[in-house]
Structure 1
Amino acid sequence: MADVINSLSDRLLFGIPKKGRLHEHCLSLLSGADINFHRHNRLDIALVQNLPIALVFLPAADIPKYVADGNVDLGMTGQDMILESQVGDKIEQLLELGFGKCKLEVQVPIKSNIKKVEDLVGKRIVTSFVVLAGDYFEELDKKYLSDDQIKEGKKTKIEYVSGSVEAACALGLADGIVDLVESGETMRAAGLQSIATVCNSQAILFRHKNPSNPSLVSKITSRIRGVVAAQKYVLLNYNIHRNSLNEATKITPGRQAPTVSPLEKDGWVEVQSMVCKDNVAEIMDKLEEIGAKDILIFKINNCRV
């Protein structure tokens, strides 16, 4: 342990969620960016083997404060954690990572008489996001309560719990909750429904405004941006007669422009283009309809775009 601590002085510190919904995604992203490390059991610091970086494994909710205070240079966590930590003026958001997408939503029991968010004004809310929930309901209180009612303490009450937020209504602790929703399965299983969205969130890469090694931060950002782009796109390769090339390139314009190479067969060309992975089946159908042949898909592991 002492050897690891002594090795940190000349390394860029990178905060990574130590567990939870973002942890495995972040590790996969680091692997794709060729950031190689070995983490010893029960040790929350890991030295990167091929770059002067030390990974610091932290609770996801704490990473924004560590980066904002300059304890670590770079971090990955959810946008909801950054908003809740109120450190937006002390950090710089670098890149949306495309995973961990969810919504912070106001939820109430399906069987309750509360059908819209205004019905919760002046009632009890339980959440682990007291800052975001507090700001949200403060605006509703101003809109739906008089100044006298607010002075009399009739405004919405926000109470903090660290876990099992969805059980608060069933236990009689709250009239509604504010909690993260991904698929909605947990919400529905608890007999809850969403009536309003406080904010949308996904995992992001962000840095301290004055990191210890800005050039290394730029290198890491570029690598991770390449991995994120590679997850969104595939490389499409096909042959097409030159008479149909103009129509084909409208279907596959690429990010900048497609690569077109002549074939030995008279009048035919080969086309390569990056296309969105979500639309690839429809794109292949359209190409086939205009006479494209030998349509192939290649996975992209990393790229620079």
Structure 2
Amino acid sequence: MAGIEPARERAGSSSMPMNVVENNVVLFGVPKKGRIFEDVMKILKGAGLDFKRPERLDVAMCKELSIKIVFLPAADIPTYVMDGSVDIGISGSDMLEETLIEAGRSEDSPIQVIMKLGIGKCKLCLQAPVETCKDGAKAFAGKRIVTSFPALSRRFFETFQEKDGPKTRIKVVSGSVEAACGLGLADAVIDLVETGTTMKAAGLDIVAEVFETEALFFQQKPTEQNGLMPGSTKADLITLVEQRIRGYMTATSFVMVVCNCHDANLQEVCAICPGKKSPTVTELKEPGWHSVSALVSIKSHNMVMDKLAKAGATDILCLALSNTRM
């Protein structure tokens, strides 16, 4: 197995605010900062989880729901959910997998993923100086690797480790991982790559992909002990939050296109915008005319509107959605 230095301490005693637990109040762990913070705040606002965060405090009570938002380091959230200190959380799948591996629970996870959020997408990659990338990932087994993800790195290199070969030396740093090669601390690094700008500026390139990540919404698996079994107050609240987030995500992915058309064009118009299930068709007061409305992907709505106009539709409108329930 690949050798490894002691992993960084997770979920330290100072990261969890004191005295936040209340009966029948769902504790929702969210990142207090970092690359997905702003997107997570947009999702909470879009889902109607209104709260006011007091200055210098990491806990905020929702105004209309018995849900308490707890701001935590993203890397700690999976641990708190796994241990039952918070009921639900949002963090990256890389953070979740790292935590489960460290806890020896990757095959028997105590965490249940509710949904992927489609934000924070990037890749955890093995990176090395450009001139050495051609050697492939196996060439770096037994060498010095710097990373913020020791468990995922160890699992990756176990595949290449030779029985009697030198152990891969994995050193843990919490930031500026990409600088390790230039400073002579590492032969390669394992770090997140989003745009690749920082990687290229450090004179590095991708050798191999280690893990693909995105933000997840998850909870501790329901048990009688944690009060999350179906039908419980907390379970009902979590289901409500899930519905609201799904509704908001649908609203950010679709628009409502509405148009008028004559009988002669109705079949073609419905074919152009079939909607998620089917378009809504309503007869207008003027004989032979109909109003057609349907959900259309936000990525293609301009093209759809062009096609509708070409097919003879009139009064074509594109309406933004704030939330949905599907």
Q: TM-score, normalised by structure 1?
A: 0.91
CA gap of 1:59–1:113, structure 2 versus 1, over 3 A, is closer
- The answer on whether the counterparts of 1:251 and 1:283 sit within 8 Å (CA) in structure 2 is yes
- Structure-1 residue corresponding to 2:195: 183
Local SS of the residue matching 2:239? helix
Q: Is 1:270 paired with 2:284?
A: no
Shift of 1:6: 6.9
User: Quick one: which amino acid aligns to residue 132 of structure 2?
Assistant: S
- Aligned residue number for residue 94 of structure 1: 114
Q: Alignment partner for residue 138 of structure 1, among 143, 158, 170?
A: 158
* Structure 1 CA distance for aligned equivalents of residues 20 and 235 of structure 2: 22
Going from structure 1 to structure 2, the CA distance change for 1:7 and 1:103 (only over 3 Å counts) comes to closer
Note the C-alpha offset of 1:283.
1.5
1:64 aligned onto 2:78: yes
SS at match of 2:127: strand
Kept in 1, the 8 Å contact 2:20–2:59? The answer is no
Give the equivalent residue in structure 1 for 2:269.
248
Whether 1:231 aligns to 2:243 is no
1:108 and 1:114 in contact (8 A); partners too: no
Moved over 4 A (4+): none
Change (3 A) 1:43 1:286: same
**2: distance between equivalents of 1:67 and 1:7?**
13
1:148 aligns with 2:186: no
Structure 2 unaligned residues grouped into runs of 5+: 1-17, 228-233
Task: Quote the residue 1:108 is aligned against.
Answer: 128
CA RMSD of aligned residues (A): 1.7
- Deviation at 1:115? 4.5
2:137 to 117, 141, 145: 117
| Structure 1 stretches lacking a partner, 5+ long | none
1:222 maps to what in 2? 243
Give SS of 1:133's match: helix
**One of 293, 297, 302 as aligned partner of 2:314:** 293
Q: Once the two structures are aligned, what percentage of the paired residues are identical? A: 44
Query: C-alpha separation between the residues in 2 aligned to 1:166 and 1:277?
Result: 36
Query: How far, CA to CA, are the matches of 2:271 and 2:244 in structure 1?
Result: 30
CA distances 1:54-97 after superposition (whole Å, capped 9, x unpaired): 11111000000100111100101111110111155101101111
SS of 1:5's equivalent in the other structure is coil
